[in-house]
Homo-oligomer: A and B are copies of this chain.
C-alpha cells in the first residue's frame, strides 16, 4: 500500500523521470527506479516484517563484553547488505548505483516501515561513509568508506557524552597527538580518551569491524581542551585496526562497550555507552584509542553538519514510515473487526448486526487523520530529498534555490513527521481498542519505536530554535522567498482544479506565518523572539504540509479519475478542515511574544 503512495509521489508528483536527463542519472529510467523499489519492497516484506517483533522482545544484551543479538538481526543485516542499498547513491566505479537521493530514500522507507531497528542500521553506516567521502582523505575513503558501502563493516556516529547531548560544546573526550603519528598514511594519528553515550550499533558482531566517527577535542601541550564547539575535531576510530588497504592488522583498538541503554523502543539496535582509551585493550603498548583525524583541527562539527542535515531528513522519513506501518495495520483491522451498529439519521440503530468498524464515522476520521499525517510526512520527506538532488545536480540557479529552501525546510522535515507520525501511531492503537494496547498486535511497538524521533538528531526544541532563530532569517530571508514563490505557484494552479478556496486559505496561513515572524522579531530580542519557538515550528510545519497537500490535490485532480486520486483529494480536504485551522492557536503566543513561560519562576512550579 505504501508502495503505491511512493509511486504516485515519485512519478506523478515529483516527476523523478526528469532526473534521468542529468548526466549522473542518465543510465536510469522509470524501470530501473521501479526495479530498485521492487527489490526493497520484497526484502522488507519477506525478511524484515516477519521478525520486527522478535528484535523488540529479544533485546540486545551484553555477555562477557560482547553484544549478543538475535539471529534475526544477522539475517536482516545480511539481506540489507545484499540489497546493495548501502552504496545506492555512490558512483558506479566503487560499486554504487548512482541512484538519486530521492529514490534511495523512497526505497529505504519500505525497510523502515517493516522494521525500523533492523538491517544493522544501514542509515548510520551510509551517513558515516558519506561523511568520509565528503571530508576524508583518499586513503581514508578507500580504507574505511568503501568497506562500509560494501557492507563489510558498519559505522557509527559518536557525538554525545553522558553530560553533553544537545550541548556538544561541552564534550570532554580528548585527543592527544601520537608521538610519531603526524605522517600516518591513514591520517594524523591521535590517542583518544573519553566516554561516548547513545551510540547506536556501538558494538556488535554483525560485521568484522566497526568504524567509529568520533568527536573529540585536541588537547594542547598542557593537556587543556579548547572551549566550545569550535574546539571540536573529528576522528576515525576503528574497533579493529586496519592497514592502508583496509585489511585487519589483527590489533584490537582501545574501545570497549561499557553498557547498553535499555530503551522504550527501537530495541533491535544496540545503543551503547562506549569507553575510549581507558586501557582495557592497550594497543601498540599503550592505553588510548587510536584515531585518525578527518579534516582540519577544530572543524569536526562543520564536517558533521553535512551529515546531520541529511540525517534530519532521514529521521523525518523514519517517522513517516513507522506511521505508515500503523496506518496499514489499523486500516486492515478496521476492515475486519465488527463492533457496534451503524448509526441511522434518526439516531436509532437498526439491528442488521454488528458492522465493520471502518463504517463508524469516528474510525473514518482516525484513518483519514493517519493518512493525512503519514502521507503528508512522506511527501515532505521526499520533497526535501528531491531538493537534495536538485542542489547536487540541478542547474546553478535551481541548485541555489533548492539549497535555500532545503535549509529552511530541514528542521521541519525532521520534526513534523516525528510529531504527527507518532500521533498517527497513537490513532492506530485507538482504532484497535483494547487489542491495540496488547503486544499481540504490532501497533503498540510502532508507537514506542516512533517516540524516539522527536528526541534524537536534535529535539523538537532544538529544531525550533534552528527554524525561528536562524533559518527564516538566513540570507535575508532567502529560504522564505523561495517557499513563498513555490506556494504561489501551487495556488496559481488551483484555479483550474476548482481549489481556489483552499488556495486562499493557504495564502492566508502563509501570511500569518510571516506576521508571526515579524511579531516575534519586532524588538530583535532573541529571548523574546524564541520563547515560543516550538509552537512556531508546529505551525510552520502545518502550513508547509498544507501546501504540499494542496499540491498533491492539484496533481490528483490532473491525473485520470481514480480511487487513488479521490482519496488524495479527500485527505487534502481533511487537512484543510481539521488541521490547518490549528495554526492560529500556535501562532498567537509567537506573534505577541508572550512572556507567560519566560516569566514563570522555578519556585512557583511545585508550590
Contacts and interface: CB of A to CB of B under 8 A. Distances in A.
A261 B444 CA distance: 13
Nearest to A454: B430
Given A343-B530, A605-B331, A438 B585 contact: no
Given A339-B165, A584-B585, A570 B170 contact: no
A581 B585 contact: yes
Contacts of A354: 163, 167, 170
A362 B581 contact: no
A476 interface: no
Given A358-B602, A531-B361, A597-B361, A438 B263 contact: yes
Interface stretch (A121-129, A315-323, A459-467, A484-492): A459-467
Nearest to A532: B365
B439 A607 contact: no
Interface residues on A, range: 35 or more
A562 B607 CA distance: 8
Interface in A562-590: 562-564, 566-567, 570, 573-574, 577-579, 581-582, 584-585, 588-589
A525 interface: yes
Point out which of A160, A430, A594, A606 has the most chain B C-beta atoms below 10 A from its C-beta.
A606
Contacts of A429: 264, 451, 455
Interface string A160-172: 1001111100100
A365 B534 CA distance: 9
A455 B469 contact: no
Contacts of A426: 451
Interface string A522-547: 00011110111111000000000000
Give the 3 A-B residue pairs with the shortest CB-CB distance, closest first: A567-B604, A563-B607, A564-B607
Interface of A: 1, 4, 160, 163-167, 170, 197-198, 227-228, 261-265, 328, 331, 335, 338-341, 343-347, 351, 354, 358, 360-365, 367-368, 371, 426, 429-430, 433-434, 436-440, 444, 447-448, 451-452, 454-456, 459-461, 464-465, 469, 525-528, 530-535, 562-564, 566-567, 570, 573-574, 577-579, 581-582, 584-585, 588-589, 594, 596-607
